[in-house]
Amino acid sequence: MGAPTSPSSRSAPGRRQAEADDDTMVDLHAAVARRLERHDHRYTPGRRHLVETLARVARPVTLPQISSHSDELPQSSAYRNLEVLERCGVISRIAGSADHAHFELAEPLVDHHHHLVCVSCGSLQDVHLDDELEALVDAELAQAAAAAGFTPTNHSLDLHGYCHNCEPDR
């Protein structure tokens, strides 16, 4: 059951925070490598760099944002590798309303959560809901899906509105 959870796990007492982060990062890379191997793909430096950036920013980001975080990342390779990582279940793509798609680490590698979507600047932010509510939602969706002959895989639940820096116009 060693799948690492969120990179922001609380550190054990007496351990420096940086050390704990390094540990979770090591675990993350191991988990990613396993998933890639399962699909007969290699964990190359370019892919490692993408995963590392996504883990560090800990919020959904666009490709330009990833590129800005560390330069010299060829666009075509980046998009290709994001696609590979997506097919291997390492990251997920959020297609939303913004002009660029957003990317984040996929669900088994980070824990289940949802997003605050700014309708003004298009930024995304993670938000976690109570497990009980999640269970209720899943139960009722499953029931509705069954009635429609629909086979569910997962749900998405976003809150749209104005982020901290984007006050609504009056």
168 binds a copy of itself, rule: CB under 8 A: yes
Site for Mn ion in 122-141 (CB under 5 A): 134
Binding partner of residue 164 among DNA, a copy of itself, Zn ion, none, CB cut-off 5 to 8 Å per kind? a copy of itself
* Spatial separation of the C-alpha atoms in residues 50 and 73, rounded to whole Å: 9
Put residue 114 in one of left, alpha, beta given phi > 0 → left and psi -120 to 50 → alpha.
beta
100-139 mask for Zn ion (x: CB under 5 A)?
------------------x-xx------------------
Partner from Zn ion, a copy of itself, DNA, none contacting 121, C-beta within 5 to 8 A by type:
Zn ion
Question: With the CA atoms of 1, 142, 116 and 81 taken in that order, what torsion angle do they form, in degrees rounded to the nearest 10?
Answer: 60
Copy the structure tokens of residue 87: 């097919």
Determine the Cα–Cα distance for residues 124 and 163; give it in Å rounded to an integer.
9
Site string for a copy of itself, 104-143 (x = CB under 8 A): ------------x-xx-----x-xxxx--x--xx--xx--
* HSE-CB for 3 with a 13 A CA cutoff: 11
DSSP-assigned letters across all residues of 96-122: -SSSS-EEEE-TTTS---EEEEETTT-
CA distance 42 to 39: 9
Nearer to a copy of itself, 80 or 160 (CB): 160
Binding residues for a copy of itself, rule: CB under 8 A, are 93, 95-97, 116, 118-119, 125, 127-130, 133, 136-137, 140-141, 144-145, 148-164, 167-168
Binding residues for Zn ion, rule: CB under 5 A, are 118, 120-121, 163, 166
